[in-house]
Structure 1
Amino acid sequence: MSGVGTTAHGPVVEIRPGRSTAWWGMISLIVTEGVLFGLLLFVYFYFWAGLGDWPPPGVPVPELVGSGIRSALLLGSTAPVILAERSLMERGDTAKCAMWLVVALAMAAMFLIGHIQEQLLLFAELSPTETAYGSAVVTILNFHAVHLIIGMIALTFVLTHVLRRRITAERHTMLEIGGMYWHFVDVIWVFVYGALYLSPRVLSG
């Protein structure tokens, strides 16, 4: 972008930097991944509409209490990421930025541990090879878990660069795009949780 100003010698064009290539690359990735999640959820509801009984009789729905606590942890991890961004970008405080990133990673790790425990229980009662419901639920939950792990790896990479002062208030693109992906994973979980945990209880009566 550019702006035009004037001086005694005539107009001066001010060049303002736009978004970086990395930023636009992350936007493209988020859109692509969002479409993939949308397709998976479409297939889930398509099976539901075609089969009628959803889940099939005798097949358990993922429980709410533990998953609700885990959801609060994951969605709550958005706050420390935002605080990390503000600490560095607005105040140049690398120590607080690193601290908030560690908090976010710890919250995500607790979510992931709960996810693994849930999957072990689900596999004991819900075989992904026996019903379309089981296949859809296990696929979507683990597809999201893979994206969370990718986000955790990315955030850990950002953390190491913050600690080494390679990410600063002036050079923070890596932190910004890492935060974008983190927020994307959190937002996607809202739709996954609503579809897999809440809708069978609400829409099935």
Structure 2
Amino acid sequence: MSSTAHGHAPYYYVPHPSRHPVMAAIGLFLVILGATQWINGAGWGAWLLLLGMLGWLFVLYQWFGEAVRESEGGLYGRKIDLSYRWSMSWFIFSEVMFFGAFFTALWWARAHSVPALGSLDNALLWPDFKAVWPSVVAGATASPAGIVEPFQTMGPFWLPTINTALLLTSGVTLTIAHHALQVGNRSRCVSFMWLTVLLGIVFLFVQGYEYFHAYSDLNLKLSSGVYGSTFFMLTGFHGLHVFVGMLMLLFITLRLMKGHFTPERHFGFEGAAWYWHFVDVVWLGLYLLVYWM
């Protein structure tokens, strides 16, 4: 912990210099650079992406392993615990803003952009344009130039509804596991954590089948106008967050099986639980605004 100019420890925790943040940033830079080059036709971009991903994961393995050893070694006090709690809170807040931007894009396109394109000013330019959202009028692609292939929208039944039930159930099982840990019932906690991880995995498989159904049966693609782009951006990024949250819960479960965490000290568990409940709440917004409306 660093100190102030007067030699007194600050109220908040200041971590010592570490190589992990810059190494993780380099790995992510290689991932983004490789992905952009791969998308633009450079074959070496795929290998650069793979290299960056492997390097990034290796850094995280070292970084998180070091944090776990310090925590289990009793090196973390109240200030570090508060630092972790504030950090996780701000991280989740940044994710709220991230999804808020996409929800806003969906609302703006539907409530403002499409009606504006169908106004009297544009009637002479696009006389055949249908200023309606595709989910409101079946077959409306809002493509007067014919550049968007006809597609069908994704309704709430039955795959999205099944996934909603899976995520809500996983929130319940996670809460049961948390209460079991608080009362010292480790075996019950581990059992319900494995059930939560399994529900997350099933959710991802159902979403993968939903995408297959969208492409093969509905001709709904990322290029299907603003509806297709917002649909896949919102659901796709949410699926990525489910995957990350599932990995968090998986590693927490493995740590529980090794005897880590106590009823009094288990913020690693709580932080992963906060993230998973956030993912649940985002999905409820998606389920209502994307599939029902």
TM-score, scaled to structure 2:
0.60
**Matching residue within 165, 190, 199 for 2:259:** 165
- Displacement of 1:23 in angstroms is 1.4
Is residue 173–residue 193 contact of structure 2 (8 Å, CA) maintained in 1? yes
* Aligned-partner Cα distance in 2 for 1:163–1:41: 39
| Residue aligning to 1:59 | 151
For 2:97, the equivalent position in structure 1 comes to: 35
Q: CA RMSD in A?
A: 1.5
Give the match for residue 108 of structure 1: 200
After superposition, residues 106-145 of structure 1 pair within 5 angstroms as 106-124=198-216, 125-145=219-239
Separation of aligned partners in 1, 2:82 and 2:273 = 15
Partner amino acid for 1:114?
V
Q: Is 1:99 paired with 2:191?
A: yes
Relative contact order, CA 8 A, sep 6+: which one is greater?
1
Structure 2 matches for 1:72-91, cutoff 5 A?
Answer: 72-89=165-182, 91=183
Residues of 2 paired with 1:22 and 1:138: CA distance? 33
Counterpart secondary structure, 2:153: coil
Residue of structure 1 aligned with 2:244, choices 150, 164, 167: 150
C-alpha offsets along residues 15-62 of structure 1, whole Å, 9 cap, x if unaligned?
xx5862111111101110011101101101111121132123453221
Is 1:47 matched with 2:141? no
Distance in 1 (CA, whole Å) between partners of 2:240 and 2:221 is: 20
Offset, 1:101: 0.5
**Percent sequence identity over matched residues?**
26
Q: Which amino acid counterpart does residue 105 of structure 1 have in structure 2?
A: V
Gaps of 5+ in 1: 1-16, 200-205
Contact 2:151 2:224 in 1 (8 A): no
Mean CA deviation greater in 153-162 or 115-124 = 115-124
Residues paired across the two proteins, number: 182
- Contact 1:112-1:145 at 8 Å conserved across structures: yes
**Secondary structure of residue in 2 paired with 1:170:** coil
Q: Provide Cα deviations, 1:73-127, integer angstroms capped at 9, x if missing partner.
A: 11111011111111011x1111111101111111111111110000112123112
